[in-house]
Amino acid sequence: MNCGVGEGEGKRTGRKKGREMEMKMTIGMGEHDTGQALKVSGLTRIYGSSCPDCIRMTGPDHGTNICRVCGSVVACADISFDVMPGEILGIVGESGSGKSTIVRCLYFDMEPTCGEAYLRCYGKGNIFQVSSQEKQIIRNLYTGMVYQNPQLGLKFDITSGGNIAEKLLAANWRNVGRIRERAGELLERTEIPLARMDDYPRNFSGGMQQRVQIAKALANDPDVLLLDELTTGLDVSVQARILDLIKDIRRNTEAAMVLITHDLGVIRLLAERTIVLKNGRIVEAGLTDQILEDPQHEYTQLLVNSVL
């Protein structure tokens, strides 16, 4: 489907010159020259009937993501980015800017209106185009997700160990003893007391629920981890421990992570690169220190200046 979105560079306002040099990179590549773990291009998701004017009538220039002609919501449009193995990409933007929509499309919780996404570990092309069976495989073997709302990521009437076992079973683990052992390891790694393995997530604190979600997301040793507002609404000491856990994951795995947050402190601490979203569009993308210290777009400047 043609969404009427321009191709190519997207909205990388930060770059003044071409990127032909990418290919000529000669130094310092080390182990990182193996290509992007995740590459997304032109991802668009429209809620509603949609009309030919939806894209043109929405976006930061119009200050809205609602099409004036047909009333559809353009949750995100023409979203392009990539993430290297072992890298954390931050996504920031105000509430409603389309952050969750992006990761939920990537986790196949919803279908994009159009766009492409490629995983390095899955060499069979655009993952939005494959059969639902293949999508199951991708989800079970290669990706992990931590939802903004733990109720979406966990079954509250199944034990925490059981929640993790589900993901392991989906990833073709069969030996019950080893599944239990692995679930125990994951809970230990995410600092959930083993004694709580047979307890239900509904009895857990918000911080513990997020940690069980992380344990579950890590179960299949994913190549791509999608983290949606994983510290929102938690008290600061609990937040700190979760952020340290993410750093630990970065140190010990090669997982590429997409980290959604509205907390610029979290971005500064964790993300090497950041994209800024407004009204469903990327208004700026760049190195995190550049985004925070030399923001180019008006909205980014507003965002950075709003920090208390």
Ligand X SMILES: Nc1ncnc2c1ncn2[C@@H]1O[C@H](COP(=O)(O)OP(=O)(O)OP(=O)(O)O)[C@@H](O)[C@H]1O
Ligand Y SMILES: Nc1ncnc2c1ncn2[C@@H]1O[C@H](COP(=O)(O)OP(=O)(O)O)[C@@H](O)[C@H]1O
Which option in Zn ion, ligand Y, ligand X, none does residue 250 bind, with CB closer than 5 to 8 A by kind?
A: none
The nearer residue to other proteins, 3 or 264, going by C-beta atoms, is: 264
Pick the binder of ligand X from 294, 298, 301, 302 (CB under 6 A): 294
Listed in order, strand segments (DSSP E) in 124-251 are 143-146, 224-228
Q: How many of the chain's residues bind ligand Y (CB under 6 A)? A: 12
Amino acid letter, residue 195:
A
Asked if 115 contacts 44 with a C-beta cutoff of 8 angstroms, the reply is yes
Pick the binder of Zn ion from 14, 39, 47, 51 (CB under 5 A): 51
Question: Which 81-120 positions form the footprint of Mg ion (CB under 5 A)?
Answer: 99-100
Binding status of residue 307 toward other proteins by CB under 8 A: no
Question: Which 143-172 positions form the footprint of Mg ion (CB under 5 A)?
Answer: 148
CB of 95 to ligand Y, least distance (A): 4
Tokens of 177: 């003893």
User: Closest CB to Zn ion belongs to which residue?
Assistant: 67
Binding status of residue 95 toward ligand Y by CB under 6 A: yes
Pick the binder of ligand Y from 96, 162, 184, 206 (CB under 6 A): 96
The nearer residue to ligand X, 209 or 296, going by C-beta atoms, is: 296
Binding status of residue 300 toward ligand Y by CB under 6 A: no
16's enclosing H/E stretch is none
The nearer residue to ligand X, 244 or 293, going by C-beta atoms, is: 293
* Nearest of 56, 49, 106 to residue 79 by alpha carbon: 106
Grouping H, G, I as helix, E, B as strand and the rest as coil, residue 292 is: helix
Residues 6+ apart with CB under 8 A from 269: 243, 247
Asked if 156 contacts 202 with a C-beta cutoff of 8 angstroms, the reply is yes
Pick the binder of other proteins from 18, 63, 123, 177 (CB under 8 A): 18
Amino acid letter, residue 185:
E
Place of tokens 């509904």: 202
